[in-house]
Structure 1
Amino acid sequence: MSSNLSRRAALGGLGLGVAAAVAAAAPAAAAAGDDQARGTGPGHLRRVYERQKTKAGGVWHSHVAALDADGALQTVIADDVDAIVDGYSVQKLAVAVAVMDKVDRGLLQLGQKLDLPGDIILGGSGIYHLQTVWGDDLTIANFLTAMLLVSDNTAVRMCGRVAPALEINEILAAKGFVNTRVIPVANPNRFFLGKTTPAEVHDLLWRLANKTLLSTKSCDFLLGIMRWVNGYHDGTRRNMSSNERSRVAIKYGADFNTLGAGRHEVGIMFDSSGAPALTFAFFADSLGDLDNYGATHPAVEAHAVLGRQLFDSIPAPVAGLAARTARPTIDLTPFREVNGG
């Protein structure tokens, strides 16, 4: 096992690169103000990214792509996109894709139930460990929702019971992912969350958004969880309304290894018509503040700035563009609170 393995990992073309740092003559105050201004162009986004990356520190590996005016997907930010990195909890999305692939093939059903024994419980992120007593019968849909919405660690072990590590890797390989893998251990139903790259995560996200990665029904299921407003808000979705948050499907990952802290966030942004418009994959490692998993971690604060900037860069839908580019849409039913009854 590599020495830089996470302490908690054993859970079962614009052709444009990133712009250079902002010119030294620009006052620091002006640069900070520009990061809060709602710019729209790719050059503006690259400058904001570079400043936020520098401010947060660490080593970043990022990929951002967006549709242009003609409906073609273009790279906006490409920063070491083929780096093989510890995915941490971002890998839970790949695990969920493997499970849903088996659902699509009729080997599993979302309504299928498994028991939740006490000896499978893991702490850290999630909800199941908070129960203090166990013995529940959980549907596959239940623990997949917990794994993606609140990044539940026990849910990873539940996934391993229906999709062993070697099978997960075979499914990911069959879908064309070369580096996105979980790491098997002696127990075939347990694994380390493993590695990925920003480029492969972008590919996974875009195919998920366009419903070519899995069946339409399975893509909708995963996207519905990732977009829900009760999910992760510390990063890219921090400075957004509830309706804006519902247009951003996200998965985050946070841990540390011998290189330092890692704070990752990946996702899809949709335009106001419901069509996918943009993907982002931010992987930052070798960071400080190892035990800060909150909104004040410098990399997470950078994600919040970048999220607002990326969202504001999405143009209004162009009449007829969705039909010309065959971009599928998803339901954007607004969040409504329910007061019991």
Structure 2
Amino acid sequence: MTARPAPGDALAAAYSRCAGAAGGSWHSYLTLHGDTVLAEDADAVVVAASVQKVAIAAAVLTEVDRGRLALTDTVELTADLVAEGTGTLHLQAGYGDRLTVAHLLVALVNGSDNTAVRLLGRLLPGPRINDFLAAQGFRHTRVRPLATDERRFYLGTTTARETYALLDRLAAGTLLSAAGSRALLRAMRWAQPGYCDGVRRHMSSTQRQRVAVKHGADEDCRHEVGVVFGPDGAPAATFVFLADRLPEPDDYGGTHPAVRAHAQLGRHLLDAVGG
């Protein structure tokens, strides 16, 4: 009888197959029950796209923990702050709402709302977000403030290793307060609505709630990062899949080769931790 490969070895083999079939350049980090399964080109500095929104949310919640912001603080949604692309705030027929920090955080990480980035920037400018990231020991994870207005910024850059460290600390409860950790992970785990084209695609609704995810897409980049929780509710696997130089840059749906790869890997991840 042929021995079944260990879960970590099986995951590494599945990753090699899926990433190879998708093409492009992959920069990844994956652990299972605290053991490193793979670290591929994990220190390459890449366009962060919307996975950077987790770092922005963590910076905002740190300000809340320190009493410099409150979840009930509000900012006005004006037409000049509306950003097209992902999210729903830009779909409104009119503006003038006053939105709370709590509302914007959910829109940021669950709906990946680009307008929420601009609104939170009015409360926490890009340089202060970068100060938070530097204080956490990250060298390459940075937003990029505009020279003309530091409260407006691009999502910037990161590495697979630094994104992994941020997620690992978030899941362990060492990045934020207990309340901040719960709020951020709850928004990332919620799947109705929520991003389900990738890692969570081949899962039941209940299983999807066990996976905290954030995806990002920009031109030839397709990223997905997150934490898979075991049946006991404890974090069991942390994954960072950053990929660029991919084919089919105009396909932002579930048919993109890298997104299909994420979907296959998600099922392997869930099975490895006890699906």
Pairwise CA distance, 1:298: 0.2
Two-structure CA RMSD over aligned residues (Å)? 1.2
1:301 corresponding residue in structure 2: 260
Q: 1:116 aligns with which of 77, 82, 92?
A: 77
2:203 corresponding residue in structure 1: 240
String of CA shifts for 1:194-244, please: whole Å, max 9, x gaps.
010111111111110111001010010000000001210000000001110
Normalised TM-score (structure 1): 0.78
Q: Distance in 1 between matches of 2:57 and 2:130?
A: 12
Pairwise CA distance, 1:144: 1.0
Pairwise CA distance, 1:315: 4.2
Gaps of 5+ in 2: none
String of CA shifts for 1:58-98, please: whole Å, max 9, x gaps.
0000000111xxxxx11001111111110100001111111
1:201 maps to 2:163: yes
More helix by share: 2
Pairwise CA distance, 1:179: 1.0
**Correspondence list, 1:146-185, <5 A:** 146-185=107-146
Pairwise CA distance, 1:184: 1.4
Q: How many residues align?
A: 270
Equivalent residue letter for 1:216: A
Pair member with larger Rg: 1
String of CA shifts for 1:321-340, please: whole Å, max 9, x gaps.
xxxxxxxxxxxxxxxxxxxx
Pairwise CA distance, 1:291: 1.2
**Correspondence list, 1:35-184, <5 A:** 41-67=7-33, 73-184=34-145
Q: 1:252 aligns with which of 192, 209, 215?
A: 215
**Correspondence list, 1:197-236, <5 A:** 197-229=159-191, 230-236=193-199
Equivalent residue letter for 1:96: A
Q: Identity, % of aligned pairs?
A: 50
Equivalent residue letter for 1:285: D
String of CA shifts for 1:282-325, please: whole Å, max 9, x gaps.
00100111111100000000000001001100148xxxxxxxxx
Equivalent residue letter for 2:156: G
Tell me if structure 2 keeps the 8 A contact 1:128–1:154.
Answer: yes
**Runs of 4 or more consecutive aligned structure 1 residues displaced over 6 Å after TM superposition:** none
String of CA shifts for 1:161-211, please: whole Å, max 9, x gaps.
111011100011111111110011120100111010111111111110111
Equivalent residue letter for 1:46: A
Normalised TM-score (structure 2): 0.96
Gaps of 5+ in 1: 1-37, 68-72, 317-341
String of CA shifts for 1:263-293, please: whole Å, max 9, x gaps.
0000000011110111000001001111111
Equivalent residue letter for 1:239: H
Equivalent residue letter for 1:82: D
Tell me if structure 2 keeps the 8 A contact 1:90–1:265.
Answer: yes
Q: Distance in 2 between matches of 1:39 and 1:155?
A: 44
Equivalent residue letter for 2:93: T
Pairwise CA distance, 1:40: 5.6
